[in-house]
Structure 1
Amino acid sequence: MLRAFAVVGLMLLLLVAAVFGPQLLRSDGTENAVGAGDGAPCDLLTQACRWSGKGGPWSAQLQVLGEENPSGDYQLSISAPGQPEGLVAVLRGESMYMGEYPVPLKHQGDGRYLARFDAPVCSTGADMRWRVDLQQGSQPTGGAPATLVFQAHDL
């Protein structure tokens, strides 16, 4: 009887290890990053996305600007370690391909960068989901473990 309980207990232990083990082994030190892990999406309009990347901590946040600001519908804020030159945010359609739209970021000092832009118009309107990739010149930079995305707002 005791042997039967030991076998059942061992089987349960193996089942739990098979289900939860890969998650625990996959941890790469970015568990505190919002939206971190295998390209999981981080919605820039609902939260600040933070991660540890090339050179130290990075963060990104996007906000919709009101009609009183004619310079753009969105403002992207990036905080980067050091002072990378030629930092660009490239908009790419996540829900459908619409090309690539580079948005230059302006250095504000203290590793802060800002960009104001209009998202390209899409026939799907608010259904369009955009991805933001950070580049330094033509090379990817920042090492975000998450996919930085936002949903286009109604025009």
Structure 2
Amino acid sequence: MLREVLVASVIVAVLAVLVFVPRWLRSPEPAAQMPTCDVLAGPCRWHSDQGEWVVEAEPLGEGDQGTEFRLQVRAPVAPERFLAVLRGESMYMGEYPVPLMPDDKGGWNARFTAPFCTTGSEMQWRIDLQSGQRPVGAPPARLTFWAR
């Protein structure tokens, strides 16, 4: 009888370790700990090993699908398939890749309309810079903006 209780206790302890220890060891999302930089409020600047990065956006007015925005990126490198991926920050609404096109000043630009939520008119979006599927730039803050 004592042996069965001991075996059952060991099995329960092993299961508890397998379930709870990975949760305790997992670090929180790094993006959730990072400060934010509102790209509509002014340029977001940072330095990486390659040089200075600058990201800013401006509303262009109402379009057919909602408010249109212009995103401008100045980067010290020329990534292949340079994308700004929009991800819902205040509510997950999927991922929306926005291709960045080179301009004549050595930067990249894009015009886009942020998708809007049917449950409310305000939505905070995060912009992640990518070269294809790989993140680039390593900003020290989450690049965000509000679509209203």
Q: Choose 40-49 or 123-132, whichever is displaced more.
A: 123-132
Unaligned runs of 5+ in 1: 1-37
Query: CA-to-partner distance for each residue in 1:106-143, whole Å, 9 max, x for gaps?
Result: 01145300000010121244421000000001000011
Q: Aligned residues, how many?
A: 115
Amino acid at match of 1:66: G
Counterparts of residues 1-155 of structure 1 (less than 5 Å)? 39-67=34-62, 73-153=68-148
Asked if 1 retains the 8 angstrom alpha-carbon contact of 2:116 and 2:123, the reply is no
Amino acid at match of 1:79: R
Q: CA deviation at 1:104?
A: 0.3
Supply the distance in 2 between the matched residues of 1:116 and 1:69 (Cα, whole angstroms): 13
Output the aligned Cα RMSD: 2.0
Q: CA deviation at 1:84?
A: 1.9
Asked if 2 retains the 8 angstrom alpha-carbon contact of 1:106 and 1:113, the reply is yes
Partner-residue secondary structure (3-state), 1:74: strand
Q: Choose 52-61 or 141-150, whichever is displaced more.
A: 52-61
Unaligned runs of 5+ in 2: 1-32
Supply the distance in 2 between the matched residues of 1:125 and 1:111 (Cα, whole angstroms): 38
Give the structure-1-normalised TM-score: 0.68
Supply the distance in 2 between the matched residues of 1:80 and 1:114 (Cα, whole angstroms): 11
Supply the distance in 2 between the matched residues of 1:105 and 1:87 (Cα, whole angstroms): 6
Supply the distance in 2 between the matched residues of 1:120 and 1:69 (Cα, whole angstroms): 12
Shift of the 67–98 alpha-carbon distance from structure 1 to 2, 3 Å rule, reads closer
Give the structure-2-normalised TM-score: 0.71
